[in-house]
């Protein structure tokens, strides 16, 4: 439908009336006696959503075809793409010789996709359904939980590396799957909110424009967790504890990077622009501290393997600080009033 302009009329001396386009009313099944919800938007527009006897849009069942000739990772990515687009039910059809594909899909569903359950299964098909609703875990709450896990991963990964604690390092690696579960669930919500302005209100976002900002935040948190897992993997590769002299700079950079990340999330929660600017400045300090630490490594009496390991750890710590700065920049953008 093209843009239509309607004249506002006054009836009864106090009520403003605007007629609805007939073509639109027919397309959504609107009839006399039905109700519509009027939802004021942050951009000064008014969203009209059919309610009452008008049926909600129906999302068709998605179908994923799995062939023996495809890589199992391809089947997994295809399934995740349907999950992210908001399908409630996804049916997977397996050809012969796809037992590896089925196992990979089941493992992905179990470890990485929140709320997805297998409700039917046969030799050649598997039906899944997402059983968790948007209002049960809105975006901001999900981001908060995701951030807490990522923060603990960063802290524990540094401790595991410093102490050569393989048990703690393994726990950090396992926690990365939980962060991925929140990440995919949040992206699913944001994708749906972009398509439905009323859904953005339901998931706790007052304005659809915020979806892009929170999408960037979710990705930054996911990357922080990935780098924490990377540090944990480096800890698992250590055969013995490094000297305190070798670890001193890395631990200082880790603490500074952790402060940047945690403070950036607090600034986001409060939409505190001043705090966000301080985070960006502190992130620059952390990056410079990381560069100086790498330069000092060559001056220490370390073997090549230890130097390479510490260099990779310092690179991950630097990136954590940079992702914290990215979150702070999003905070500044979200706090800036929209143009009327």
Contact call for residues 330 and 217 (beta carbons, < 8 A)? yes
Contact call for residues 4 and 21 (beta carbons, < 8 A)? yes
Distance CA 296, CA 104 (A): 44
Can you give the pLDDT of all 340 residues of the chain as single tens digits? 567 888 888 887 778 898 888 888 888 788 888 888 787 766 677 878 776 533 444 457 899 999 999 999 999 999 999 999 889 899 999 999 999 999 999 999 999 999 899 999 999 999 999 887 767 788 889 999 999 999 999 999 999 999 999 999 999 999 999 999 999 999 998 988 877 666 766 676 766 678 889 999 999 999 999 999 999 999 999 999 998 988 999 999 999 999 999 999 999 999 999 999 999 999 999 999 999 999 888 888 888 899 999 999 999 999 999 999 999 999 999 998 876 5
Domains of the chain: 9-51 (2.10.260), 62-130 (3.30.110.20), 139-335 (1.20.58.220)
| Rounded alpha-carbon distances, angstroms, from residue 45 to 11, 21, 27, 41, 159 | 22, 17, 22, 5, 51
Give the sign of the dihedral formed by CA 85, CA 87, CA 93, CA 94.
Answer: positive
């Amino acid at each position: 439908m093209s843009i239509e302009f309607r004249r506002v009329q006054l009836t009864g001396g106090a009520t403003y009336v605007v007629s609805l386009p007939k073509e639109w009313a027919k397309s959504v099944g609107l009839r006399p006696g039905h109700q519509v919800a009027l939802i004021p938007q942050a951009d000064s527009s008014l969203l009209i959503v059919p309610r009452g006897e008008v049926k909600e849009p129906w999302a068709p069942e998605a179908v994923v075809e799995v062939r023996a000739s495809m890589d199992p990772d391809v089947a997994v990515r295809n399934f995740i793409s349907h999950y992210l687009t908001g399908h409630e039910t996804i049916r997977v059809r397996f050809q012969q010789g796809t037992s590896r594909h089925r196992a990979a899909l089941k493992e992905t569903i179990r470890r990485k996709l929140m709320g997805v359950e297998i409700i039917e299964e046969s030799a050649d098909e598997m039906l899944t359904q997402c059983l968790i609703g948007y209002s049960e875990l809105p975006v901001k709450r999900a981001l908060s939980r995701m951030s807490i896990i990522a923060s603990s991963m960063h802290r524990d990964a540094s401790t595991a590396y410093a102490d050569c604690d393989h048990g703690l390092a393994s726990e950090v690696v396992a926690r990365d799957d939980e962060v991925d579960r929140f990440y995919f669930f949040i992206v699913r919500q944001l994708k749906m909110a972009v398509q439905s302005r009323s859904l953005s209100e339901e998931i706790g976002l007052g304005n659809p424009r915020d979806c892009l900002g929170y999408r960037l935040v979710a990705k930054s948190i996911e990357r922080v967790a990935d780098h924490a897992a990377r540090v944990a993997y480096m800890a698992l590769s250590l055969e013995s504890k490094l000297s305190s002299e070798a670890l001193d700079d890395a631990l200082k950079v880790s603490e500074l990077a952790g402060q940047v990340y945690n403070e950036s999330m607090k600034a986001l929660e409060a939409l505190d622009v001043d705090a966000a600017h301080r985070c960006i400045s502190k992130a620059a300090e952390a990056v410079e501290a990381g560069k100086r630490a790498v330069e000092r490594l060559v001056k220490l009496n370390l073997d090549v393997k230890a130097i390479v390991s510490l260099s990779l750890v310092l690179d991950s710590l630097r990136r954590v600080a940079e992702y914290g700065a990215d979150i702070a920049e999003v905070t500044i953008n979200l706090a800036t009033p929209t143009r009327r």
